[in-house]
Chains A and B, each alone.
Chain A
Amino acid sequence: DVKVTQSSRYLVKRTGEKVFLECVQDMDHENMFWYRQDPGLGLRLIYFSYDVKMKEKGDIPEGYSVSREKKERFSLILESASTNQTSMYLCASPARTSYEQYFGPGTRLTVT
Chain B
Amino acid sequence: QKEVEQDPGPLSVPEGAIVSLNCTYSNSAFQYFMWYRQYSRKGPELLMYTYSSGNKEDGRFTAQVDKSSKYISLFIRDSQPSDSATYLCAMSEVNTGFQKLVFGTGTRLLVSP
Contacts and interface: CB of A to CB of B under 8 A. Distances in A.
A105 B43 contact: yes
B105 to A, nearest CB: 4
B34 A103 contact: no
Contacts of A105: 42-43
A101 B104 contact: no
Contacts of B101: 33, 43, 45, 101
Interface string B6-25: 10100000000000000000
Main secondary structure of the interface of B (DSSP, over half): loop
Interface string B75-113: 000000000000010101000011111011110000000
Given A40-B8, A100-B49, A106 B42 contact: yes
Contact of B43 (A31, A48, A90): A90
B29 interface: no
Interface of B: 6, 8, 32, 34, 36, 41-46, 49, 88, 90, 92, 97-101, 103-106
